[in-house]
């Protein structure tokens, strides 16, 4: 059995997230998703929704076998516990595949790193970014 781990913030689920997770699920037999803890998100604005709520939403998707919340201090703790064969990165995630593969190797974790493709915009008004969804809400609903 091939176990895959995908990870991300998943603040507001959108079709891009679903595409990423479905493609990640297709890389193996079992998909575990690690949701970044709010306090650990430093490369962009922290998520609006709680860790618990984002994990529950991701875990409810058909492609996901199990959802997890990341460790408060060590990125590798849940990866060690899951022991995946593949780490699936989203097409636009900020991680560098080679650096991540090197860090996994240094941590004694034997798994490959693959990057999912991006989802093409099907409709002109479709939003595939949490930031763009929030921007539209603010434009159309905020004073």
CB 55 within 8 A of CB 21: no
Q: Mind listing the domains of the chain with CATH numbers? A: 3-141 (3.40.50.620)
pTM: 0.90
Q: What is the pLDDT of residue 83?
A: 95
> Residues 13-28: pLDDT tens digits?
999 999 999 999 999 9
Cα torsion 102, 107, 112, 115: sign = negative
pLDDT class of 33 with cuts at 50, 70, 90 = very high
SS3 130: helix
Q: What does 94-113 look like in DSSP terms, one character per residue? A: S--HHHHHHHHHHTT---EE
| Residue 4: strand pairing partners | 31, 86
Q: What is the pLDDT of residue 100?
A: 87
* Binding site, annotated residues: 9-10, 14-17, 92
Cα torsion 59, 33, 128, 131: sign = positive
What mean pLDDT is predicted for residues 104-119? 90
pLDDT class of 131 with cuts at 50, 70, 90 = confident
* Binding site, annotated residues for ATP: 9-10, 14-17, 92
> Residues 60-105: pLDDT tens digits?
999 999 999 999 999 899 999 999 999 999 988 878 888 888 888 9
Q: Please check the confidence at residue 34 and state whether its pLDDT lies above 90.
A: yes
């Amino acid at each position: 059995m091939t176990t895959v781990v995908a990870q991300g913030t998943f603040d507001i689920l959108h079709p891009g997230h679903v595409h990423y997770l479905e493609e990640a699920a297709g890389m193996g037999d079992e998909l575990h998703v690690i949701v970044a803890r709010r306090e650990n998100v430093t490369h962009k604005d922290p998520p609006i929704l709680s860790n618990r709520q984002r994990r529950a939403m991701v875990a409810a998707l058909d492609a996901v076998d199990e959802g997890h919340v990341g460790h408060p201090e060590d990125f590798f703790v849940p990866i060690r516990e899951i022991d995946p064969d593949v780490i699936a990165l989203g097409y636009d995630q900020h991680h560098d595949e080679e650096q991540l593969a090197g860090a996994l190797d240094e941590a004694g974790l034997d798994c490959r790193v693959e990057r999912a493709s991006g989802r093409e915009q099907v409709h002109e008004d479709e939003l595939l970014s949490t930031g763009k969804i929030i921007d539209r809400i603010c434009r159309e609903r905020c004073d």
